[in-house]
């Protein structure tokens, strides 16, 4: 079901060439000052554990870069697809909540799988990536609350993204999906390296609250988003 993934480690994830910076003129301030597109992650911070600049990708968002910035997210039933161009050395991550709108309609929002994948791939190509050189690492799709097998959104999300990548002929070089554990994921877009930590089941409530808050902020054109 899942390929082995490295666990999160401060020493393993910190490239030796990177140094913490802060204040005017720092990389963190530069990242914060850039105007962002709709749906592009914009919550930048300094991660003390990894001693490096980071960006948090929230549900419905994506982020692309060619620097060894930590691109981070936390997943329950949602999916994060990390795509990397092996030649241009540019990569990105998205975070989507559902495969599609109720009734099968495609949703023009990063909350829905098809649009989330298109946003990510389009931005990668804009930054110099070639579709034919992309590889993928896929995370999430957990069943974070027991007893909800009949509406397993995590499984539906996982099936969607793997089918999409297969159709687009983007190889999945590693994945950590399904099961019952929420996950914390870090992606380094210049090297394509991904790190994942399976969180304790007791932390599922906090992850679920994040996903529900994102759904509540969303304007849904048809039906409502139900996350469990």
What's the N-to-C CA distance of the chain in angstroms?
A: 22
* Active-site position among 64, 78, 196, 204: 78
Structural contact between residues 79 and 157, judged by C-beta atoms closer than 8 angstroms: yes
Side-chain-side CA neighbours of residue 175 (13 Å): 21
Side-chain-side CA neighbours of residue 12 (13 Å): 11
Annotated active-site residue 78? The verdict is yes
The backbone torsions φ and ψ at residue 105, rounded to the nearest 5 degrees and listed phi first, read: -75, 145
Q: Can you tell me the distance from the alpha carbon of 96 to that of 79, in angstroms, rounded to the nearest whole number?
A: 6
- Supply the residues annotated as catalytic: 78
């Amino acid at each position: 079901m899942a390929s082995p993934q490295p666990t999160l480690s401060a020493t393993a994830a910190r490239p030796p060439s990177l140094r913490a910076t802060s204040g005017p003129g720092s990389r963190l301030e530069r990242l914060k000052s850039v105007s962002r597109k709709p749906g592009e992650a914009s919550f930048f911070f300094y991660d003390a554990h990894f001693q490096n600049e980071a960006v948090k990708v929230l549900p419905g968002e994506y982020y692309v870069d060619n620097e060894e910035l930590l691109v981070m997210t936390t997943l329950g039933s949602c999916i994060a697809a990390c795509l990397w161009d092996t030649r241009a050395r540019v990569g990105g991550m998205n975070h989507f909540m559902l495969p599609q709108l109720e009734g099968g309609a495609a949703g023009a929002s990063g909350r829905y799988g098809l649009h989330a994948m298109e946003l990510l791939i389009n931005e990668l190509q804009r930054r110099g990536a070639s579709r034919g050189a992309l590889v993928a690492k896929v995370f999430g799709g957990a069943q974070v609350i027991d007893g909800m097998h009949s509406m397993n959104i995590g499984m539906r999300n996982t099936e969607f993204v793997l089918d999409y990548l297969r159709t687009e002929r983007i190889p999945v070089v590693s994945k950590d999906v399904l099961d019952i554990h929420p996950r914390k994921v870090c992606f380094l877009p210049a090297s394509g390296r991904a790190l994942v930590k399976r969180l304790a089941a007791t932390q599922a409530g906090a992850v679920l609250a994040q996903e529900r808050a994102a759904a509540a902020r969303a304007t849904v054109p048809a039906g409502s988003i139900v996350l469990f």
